[in-house]
Amino acid sequence: MLHHIAIVGSGPSGLFCADALLRQRPDLKIDVFDRLPTPYGLVRFGVAPDHQGTKAVTRQFDRLFAGGALRFLGHVQVGRDLPLANLRQHYDAVVLALGAHADRPLGLPGEDLPGRYGSMAFVGWYNGHPDFRDLDPLLDRPGAAVIGMGNVAIDIVRVLGKTRAEMATSDLTAHAADKIAAANFTDLYILGRRGPIEASFTSAELAELGKMERVRPVVKKSDLPEALPAGLDAIEARVKEKNLSILHEFADRTDEKPIRLHFLFNATPDAIVGSERVEGLKIKNGPTLEVGTVISAIGYRTAADGDLPQSDARGVIANQEGRIEPGLYVVGWAKRGPSGTIPTNRAEAKTVADLLLADYANDAAPAKQGSAALDAWLSSRGVHVMDWACWKRIEAAEIAAALPGSPRAKLAAWEDLRKHRQ
């Protein structure tokens, strides 16, 4: 009988799944585990600090936790502190909502030079992820390049390009704000290995790049087709048409601003140049860009630890419609790869929740013990769970420390977060 469910990962896909399960079965008890002492995963560490509206989704997650059927067990790494095999002994069903935490490798010479960062590390650094708090990236040259033409690449150039005043209402971490303010960029580059039609950014995000105080987008008119290619579906055509019109508008600009943001289309990176550190980025059949920083924003793969199922060649955990095997499910980026927006996960998590509930519709096995048995096991192993009350103390400290206009000053160091253990 289905009664106790464990969800591993407290990002949007895991919490949307909890929501969908509880709407249909309010009697269920769901425990949400996270390696970090802070909930919300991608909402806290992925969504850009100046996109606070997108983060408002956490209010509905808070209501779920306040409802009593959902428990937060932070600071517990399933697979390592708590083997999956053990979790499955205590819960009737387990849902993996692990996200995708590993940067796809570029596979280029010079990839490991200081000054080259993957977007997981770089975005994690400015968003206060404790694993990347001390990244201290090299931002000391006038040029910096971001490889990739998705929304993550757009987020990164925008955060690098905005002034401190433009970020005042964001929750950009102080360590990143100081470092970015001290940088003296004159030329930022965003590189796509294909053309403007193939770029995967969306129109609203692209348009934002044209509204920055000290950054002027630079687009070559000759890179832009006058019309869309045939064969696009209607929704895609609408987005691409809007993108093209924004890019044409960028190409027409003649104003001068301190930072030029160069859009380089059909620019495949060939090598990262430098001996001790990044000195440049060589483009295949093209120039070597004079940059001291190269950030690759080319997508992610799921990396699972310990006895969690490993991801396959596509970087996702093999599954059928979300079922890995009876009793074990997967949602979100770990299920389908790093695509879509936060609302994409709401619809998808519901389909996995429906599948899970259908699997147990005629299950007559006695329900397992759930957290009652597990709590004792965790404390016997010295695992210090940081629960919802700990998170609320962290949150209160962050709000209390916020600068005027900013929603919070994130605690980003492990030791500062762990101070809020009871």
Which residue lies nearer to ligand NAP by CB, 199 or 281? 199
21 in Cβ contact with 28 (< 8 Å): yes
Site size toward ligand NAP (CB under 6 A) is 23
32 in Cβ contact with 14 (< 8 Å): yes
Minimum CB separation of residue 200 from ligand NAP in Å reads 3
State yes or no: residue 55 binds ligand NAP (CB under 6 A): no
State yes or no: residue 339 binds ligand NAP (CB under 6 A): yes
Query: For residue 102, what is the enclosing H or E element?
Result: strand 102-103
Single residue of 118, 299, 315, 322 touching ligand NAP by CB under 6 A: 299
Judged on CB neighbours under 10 Å (0-12, 13-18, 19+), 235 is exposed
3-state secondary structure (DSSP) of residue 31 = strand
Minimum CB separation of residue 16 from ligand NAP in Å reads 16
The 10 Å CB-count burial string (b at 16+, else e) for 379-401 is eeeebebbebebbebbbebbeee
Of 136-155, binders to ligand NAP (CB under 6 A) are: 147-153, 155
Number of Cβ within 10 Å of residue 350's Cβ equals 18
Residue type, 246: I
Which residue lies nearer to ligand NAP by CB, 194 or 314? 194
Per-residue contact track with ligand NAP, 69 to 108, x per CB under 6 A? -------------------------------------x--
- Distance (Å, rounded) from C-alpha 413 to C-alpha 397? 13
Minimum CB separation of residue 54 from ligand NAP in Å reads 7
Residues 6+ apart with CB under 8 A from 395: 408
Minimum CB separation of residue 194 from ligand NAP in Å reads 4
Of 276-295, binders to ligand NAP (CB under 6 A) are: none
State yes or no: residue 341 binds ligand NAP (CB under 6 A): yes
Minimum CB separation of residue 155 from ligand NAP in Å reads 5
- Distance (Å, rounded) from C-alpha 70 to C-alpha 18? 8
Residues 303, 308, 311, 312, Cα dihedral to 10°: 150
Minimum CB separation of residue 222 from ligand NAP in Å reads 20
Which residue lies nearer to ligand NAP by CB, 155 or 171? 155
Of 383-422, binders to ligand NAP (CB under 6 A) are: none
Minimum CB separation of residue 47 from ligand NAP in Å reads 7
Single residue of 39, 74, 338, 370 touching ligand NAP by CB under 6 A: 338
Minimum CB separation of residue 296 from ligand NAP in Å reads 7
* Residue nearest ligand NAP, CB atom distance: 150
Residues 6+ apart with CB under 8 A from 378: 76, 81, 82, 385
Of 198-227, binders to ligand NAP (CB under 6 A) are: 198-200, 205
293 in Cβ contact with 144 (< 8 Å): yes
User: Where on the chain is the footprint of ligand NAP (CB under 6 A)?
Assistant: 106, 147-153, 155, 192-194, 198-200, 205, 297-299, 338-341
